[in-house]
Amino acid sequence: MHALRFHECGKPAEVLRLEELPPPELLDGGVRLRILAAPVNPADLNFIEGTYGVKPELPAVPGIEGCGEVVESRSPDFQPGDRAILLRRAGTWADEVSLLAEHLFKLPEGIDPLQAAMLKVNPATAWRLLTGFGTPPPGSWILQNAANSAVGRCVIVLARTLGIRTMNLVRRAELRDELLALGADEVVTDDDSAVDSAKAALGKDRPSLAFNCVGGESALRLMNLLASGGIHVTYGAMSRRPLTVPNGQLIFKDLQFRGLWVTRWIESAPREELDAVYGKLAGLMGSGALSVPVAATYPLADFKAALEQAAGSARNGKILLVP
Amino acid sequence: MHALRFHECGKPAEVLRLEELPPPELLDGGVRLRILAAPVNPADLNFIEGTYGVKPELPAVPGIEGCGEVVESRSPDFQPGDRAILLRRAGTWADEVSLLAEHLFKLPEGIDPLQAAMLKVNPATAWRLLTGFGTPPPGSWILQNAANSAVGRCVIVLARTLGIRTMNLVRRAELRDELLALGADEVVTDDDSAVDSAKAALGKDRPSLAFNCVGGESALRLMNLLASGGIHVTYGAMSRRPLTVPNGQLIFKDLQFRGLWVTRWIESAPREELDAVYGKLAGLMGSGALSVPVAATYPLADFKAALEQAAGSARNGKILLVP
């Protein structure tokens, strides 16, 4: 088999190498998959750099998620030809992986493997944001920044299925029409005017739940727009700046600050809950209601080009490796 | 009657005046009290400066809490001679107040009125910190900074009644023996060594609840000492610096950041809950188990000296006005 591996943490383009490795061992109750697609996520890059919440055991194969086709099974639950996504980190930047059947979610028929490869993290993060802190009642508003990110777009689509309205902050004003077409209720530019613009659109309503993937000033705007007693959830830090919380927002306004790391949920939720949520999300993906834009795909050998495009800021959609 | 009043917000010593005012009107169901003692709290000073969570209606009499003796009653629940504390802001920096009986808590016999004057805010804040976010089980640790403050000392005493152990951060190392004598389990100096010192004392235990009255670096030390999934509660901001929260503490460590403003609890809790909590706290105060150090008392006319001493940093105990 072939895999991208790194022997020390560092800049991904510098430390990754395409290597030929022995085929992965197939355990009792295990499944060997041919990887069909695996995205390049910010979490993968942080993992390679050694700055993620989980440290790599070196040498390591990156790849936090992916979609594969069963080529050999020692589990009664899987047959060759079945397609599945990986619910555990297994190094998907490779042409093959082997893992226990209990760490897979079997896909229904007819899902695009590129889309399915992105099902584990972003749509599930959006679902947990909307439902993991008390699901807001239909008709109420939620608030988010980075609304054009893969998670942000999933939030817009999933909120609509729950009857929840979305107030979306984006850095680039020209994205407004595209997000409105996707189902956003309001889109405002994430600059000094954002709070006034959002208040004008909200009238007397104030959201009680906000999703922060940016930090810094943008996170502060979400605080200023939340209702008293509201919950401010951080799931990313695109600005690489910490959260600065004025004391009055905690003491007098009674805001709550929480975090979400979907991996913790995946590793701790009961299997029935995982099946229910991924079943629902896979159904929406299969029908085309839920989709993550794809900017480009690359074979493993072209990983440097993939990383370069993934690092570009104006990219519209995800980069995927297709081994 | 006489009262300290201000006609514009500003520095307390500059804007306050001792004024003679008409006696307060006694309403149906109301009680007129002679004020026996009223503390000078940081919240009072912020209220006069116009920087508190509640803005004054000018001209205003400050005084967020106090203890008084009934001189006239139009409520069946109170007789002249009864003593009570005020559960609603009523301007206690005066020799008389008049308010509805439902906004009073009648004191049991034998409580020092100086102590009782401080019952409403600090002991109740400590009680809410310990019980309002899920009461930690007996034997577990809580963590606090500003442990020598009036609230901090109440936390130490009340935690002991609940079987909870306290890890206390203080700015002045020489307070260690005094707080240990009060019932603290551990006391460490709130500087760069605090995290290592506390970890050495805690062994493998990590607290799941931390009380922050300082902000800045000290608040960050509490985060570093909390267990994953722990709750960090801010109830004051002595450093006047906001909370800076590293994203990893939210996303990977799953800390929750909350605030406590005891006034909100007083104004929203059912009357039976208020009676139960203040009854318990008054009992502990009456027995001498719970007490707040008193640095000095001043008549209303000497308010400038009172404010000056209250502003001193090395003061040990509260300043009270005794009209």
Contacts of A264 in chain B (CB under 8 A): 254
Nearest to B237 among A53, A215, A247 (CB): A247
Which CATH class name applies to A123-263?
A: alpha beta
**Searching chain A, which residue's CA lies closest to the CA of residue B238?**
A247
Contacts of B243 in chain A (CB under 8 A): 243-245, 247, 250
Closest residue by Cα to residue A143 from A177, A168, A176: A168
The topology (CATH level 3) of B2-118+292-321 is: Quinone Oxidoreductase; Chain A, domain 1 (3.90.180)
Reported as a pLDDT band with limits 50, 70 and 90, residue B52 is confident
Q: Nearest-CA distance from B234 to chain A in Å?
A: 7
Range in A77-81, B49-53, B102-106, B232-236 the model is least confident about: B49-53
Q: Which of residues 278-317 of B touch A (CB under 8 A)?
A: none
**Phi, psi (deg, nearest 5) at residue B70:** -70, 130
d(CA B297, CA B311): 14
Q: Which of residues 191-210 of B touch A (CB under 8 A)?
A: none
Nearest to B245 among A243, A247, A264 (CB): A243
* Residue A188 CA: distances (Å) to CA of A139, A166, A176, A209, A224: 19, 11, 7, 17, 15
Contacts of A254 in chain B (CB under 8 A): 258-259, 261, 264
| Amino acid at residue number B213 | C
Contacts of A235 in chain B (CB under 8 A): 251
Whose structure tokens read 């989980």? A54
Angle, CA of A88, A103 and A283, to the nearest 5°: 95
Nearest to B254 among A236, A253, A264 (CB): A264
Asked if B323 reaches chain A (Cβ–Cβ under 8 Å), the answer is: no
Q: How many CB atoms lie within 10 A of CB A270?
A: 8
B52 is catalytic: yes
Asked if A230 reaches chain B (Cβ–Cβ under 8 Å), the answer is: no
Closest residue by Cα to residue A98 from A198, A22, A9, A41: A22
- Residue B60 has what DSSP assignment? B
**Searching chain B, which residue's CA lies closest to the CA of residue A242?**
B246
What are the domain boundaries of chain B?
Answer: 2-118+292-321, 124-263
pLDDT at B316 over 90: no
Contacts of B254 in chain A (CB under 8 A): 259, 261, 264
The answer to whether the CB atoms of A244 and B244 lie below 8 A apart is: yes
Q: Nearest-CA distance from A91 to chain B in Å?
A: 20
Q: Nearest-CA distance from A222 to chain B in Å?
A: 15
Q: How many CB atoms lie within 10 A of CB A267?
A: 12
Q: Which of residues 31-90 of A touch B (CB under 8 A)?
A: 53
Pick the CATH number of B124-263 from 3.30.1330.10, 1.10.300.10, 3.40.50.720, 2.60.40.10: 3.40.50.720
Q: How many CB atoms lie within 10 A of CB A137?
A: 10
Annotated catalytic residue within B52, B235, B278, B298: B52
Q: Do A145 and A276 touch, CB atoms closer than 8 A?
A: no
pLDDT at B275 over 90: yes
Whose structure tokens read 């370069």? A308
Q: Do B133 and B40 touch, CB atoms closer than 8 A?
A: no
- pLDDT for the residue numbered A312: 79
In chain B, the percentage of residues whose pLDDT exceeds 90 is 91
The answer to whether the CB atoms of B251 and A257 lie below 8 A apart is: no
Three-state secondary structure readout of A287-319 = CCCCCCCEEEEECHHHHHHHHHHHHCCCCCCEE
Asked if A26 reaches chain B (Cβ–Cβ under 8 Å), the answer is: no
Q: How many CB atoms lie within 10 A of CB A101?
A: 18
d(CA A61, CA A55): 12
Contacts of B257 in chain A (CB under 8 A): 245, 250, 256-258
The DSSP string of A102-126 is GGEEEPPTT--HHHHTTTTTHHHHH
Catalytic annotation, residues of A: 52
Terminal Cα distance for chain B, rounded: 10
d(CA B154, CA B110): 20
Question: Taking all residues of chain B, what is their mean pLDDT, rounded to a whole number?
Answer: 95
Selected for mutation to probe chain B from A226, A250, A254, A265 (highest B CB count within 10 Å) is A250
d(CA B168, CA B177): 12
Ranges in chain A, pLDDT < 70: 313-314
- pLDDT for the residue numbered B314: 65
Asked if A134 reaches chain B (Cβ–Cβ under 8 Å), the answer is: no
Closest residue by Cα to residue B136 from B69, B81, B207: B207
